Chains A and B, each alone.
Chain A
Amino acid sequence: MIGALLPPFLPASIGGAIEFIFEPQSSNVTGGKKVGGLEQVIELTLNQLEVTLFALLLAIAIALPVGLYLGHRGVGELFAVGLGNVGRAVPELALIALMAAVIGVGLLNLTIALAVLGVPPILTNAFVGIRQVDRAPVDAARGIGMTEAEILFKVEMPLAVPTLMAGIRSATIAIVATATIGPIAGVLTLGDFIINNNVYGDNGLLAGGILVALLALTLESLLAWLQRLLTSRGLQLSAA
């Protein structure tokens, strides 16, 4: 059904890709050893998830505190928003090659390179989210004697959850999709199926694409669910 909708010149088939995901297939260049199959798919998926998680945590650890602080103080708009725009233009491959000279290739290199991708949306959204919070409850909080930290964590942050989470969600999608370049930086991720066309063939290539897309959608739904849990009931009502 879906296969019929694909352009006829597409060399791989959905059926072939699905078969590749579950059953090892023969390859022209491996000297008879089969490639693909569920075992390898699981291994590469776990690697991709691992590096995504590390990079996301690193990006959050760097960007969230800075964004929250600047947003609360209302300073550094040029920095927070400007960085968000510039950060999207960082060439990942060049970054990996540059860091290869200093820290070598491998998990650390890739984690940092991907975190760089995740910092801008989280930072910008944290800043904007906090700035957008209605001034009336903030003034009220200050009026009843809350400390600045209490205002940030008990008033501003809960009210900014949807915007904060939107930043984290963008960062996650960017990171998990880009983690596909892992195999050229020493980490075997699902990109292996996509980069090594000679080894895995077109079915492997399509399978890799499908798996990365599924992984991104899964993470996105998980985070959407988490966002609902974190958003205060009052905000949900007003949004509805």
Chain B
Amino acid sequence: MRNTTQRARASVAVLLALFLSLGVAACGSSNDGSTEGEEGGGAIVSNPKNGKVSLTIGSKNFPEQEILGEIYAQALKAAGYKVKSALNLGSETVAHKAVKSGQISGYPEYASTALTSFFGLEPEEVPAGAQAAYEKANEEFEKEGLTAFPPTPFASANAVGTLKKTAEKEGLKTISDLKGKSEHLSLYGSPECRQRIDCLAGLEKYYGLKFKSFTPVDIGLRYKVLETGQADLSILFTTDAQLSAEKDKFVILEDDKHVFPAGNIIFVSKASTAEKAGPDYEKTIVQVQEGLTLPVMQELDARVELEKQSPAKAAAAYLEEAGYTK
């Protein structure tokens, strides 16, 4: 099993190199509209003027967020800012409060999470397009004196995942296929999934599903419970490395009724902080996230979650491989 994984991992690394070069080359022609005037790629230039500005970059406390926090922090450091980091905020509620009160300068948040968790939208009300979701979130953030920068290329969403052999045996392709079968299938997910409308509560409400049981577990165990056969279904993330590295083992069910809104990352700051930090602040953040496509994010998640690299090391490697730092 180890060998299969390693082989799959090697191919993901090759993919990464490919996508990084493509991503950097293609970003000029991407129709994102958010990066006009950028030369794309290119190394970050250190500006001595920024040395007077101290920033504290935050993130929530799970690997993908820590990697993103490190990428932004290291990039801003490369741009000449004085940067501290606080990459262990326990939840979006805590992070939101920390940025509002000025304890952190900014942090990466999923646009969908911001809309559902902070601004009370139902999952079905979250705009499907990355740009539309970003604009809607930014509109709300501005009412609070915050500002959000344009979104990353990749989006992340929760997903119902299962072993491929379970999906085949039960004939599951979409979440709707669970109708009539979920009563004898157990579902595992993060503790807060149980009551969230963009998680279990939404599966019950919009799909009308009842599961044999729901068991709360640590996010870090989401694949282990499937592997050990304890869970029939488990809540996974679409950016999970395992989904590309172990395609023959794990599958996710299509969310045909859109209970799990996909969220691109938007970097949220206090408006006054962003202004004080000068133009290099937004420029650097938007620049370094251009290479963050889904395969790249999956590869970075893999390096941290599967290979046990530190988020700082994975972030530094990304910045270097993509040519942002030397």
Which A positions have Cβ atoms within 8 angstroms of B? 11, 27-33, 35, 93, 96-97, 100-101, 104-106, 183-186, 188, 192, 195-199, 201-202
Contact = CB atoms under 8 A, between A and B. Distances in A.
A192 B191 CA distance: 7
A28 B120 contact: yes
Nearest to B228: A104
Interface of B is mostly: helix
Given A29-B116, A185-B217, 11 more contacts: A28-B117, A28-B120, A29-B117, A30-B197, A101-B224, A104-B228, A105-B221, A186-B215, A186-B216, A199-B192, A199-B195
A188 B200 CA distance: 15
A59 to B, nearest CB: 23
Given A29-B196, A29-B198, A104-B225, A197 B217 contact: no
Contacts of A195: 191-192
Nearest to A30: B195
Nearest to B101: A9
A84 B44 CA distance: 54
A105 B192 contact: no
Nearest to A35: B195
A29 B197 contact: yes
14 contacts: A11-B97, A28-B117, A30-B201, A100-B225, A101-B224, A105-B188, A105-B217, A105-B225, A106-B230, A185-B218, A198-B91, A198-B93, A198-B196, A202-B93
B18 interface: no
A183 B216 contact: yes
A97 B218 contact: yes
A188 B216 contact: yes
Nearest to A188: B216
Contacts of B145: none
Nearest to A105: B217
Interface string B118-150: 101010000000000000000000000000000
B191 A196 contact: yes
A121 B116 CA distance: 46
B306 to A, nearest CB: 15
Classify chain B: how many residues form its interface, as a range. Answer: 20 to 34
Contacts of B191: 183-184, 188, 192, 195-196
B220 interface: yes
A197 to B, nearest CB: 4
Contacts of A202: 93
Given A184-B216, A198-B93, A27 B230 contact: no
A125 B97 CA distance: 45
A104 B94 CA distance: 31
A28 B217 contact: no
Contacts of B202: 31
A57 B94 CA distance: 38
Contacts of A101: 224, 228
Please name the 9 residue pairs, one residue from A and one from B, whose CB atoms are nearest each other, closest first. Answer: A31-B197, A184-B218, A183-B191, A196-B192, A104-B230, A197-B91, A186-B215, A183-B216, A30-B195
B240 interface: no
A61 B92 CA distance: 43
Contact of A28 (B90, B118, B228): B118
B201 A105 contact: no
Contact of A198 (B92, B201, B205, B221): B92
B115 to A, nearest CB: 11
Interface string B225-268: 10010100000000000000000000000000000000000000
B220 A97 contact: yes
Contacts of B216: 183-184, 186, 188, 192
B91 A106 contact: no
A183 B214 CA distance: 11
Contacts of A33: 195, 197, 201
Contacts of A196: 91, 191-192, 195
B316 to A, nearest CB: 26
A186 B201 contact: no
A35 B116 CA distance: 17
A201 B117 CA distance: 11
Interface string B7-28: 0000000000000000000000
A101 B191 CA distance: 19
A82 to B, nearest CB: 30
A36 B164 CA distance: 37
Interface in B171-199: 188, 191-192, 195-198
B224 A27 contact: no
A186 B195 CA distance: 15
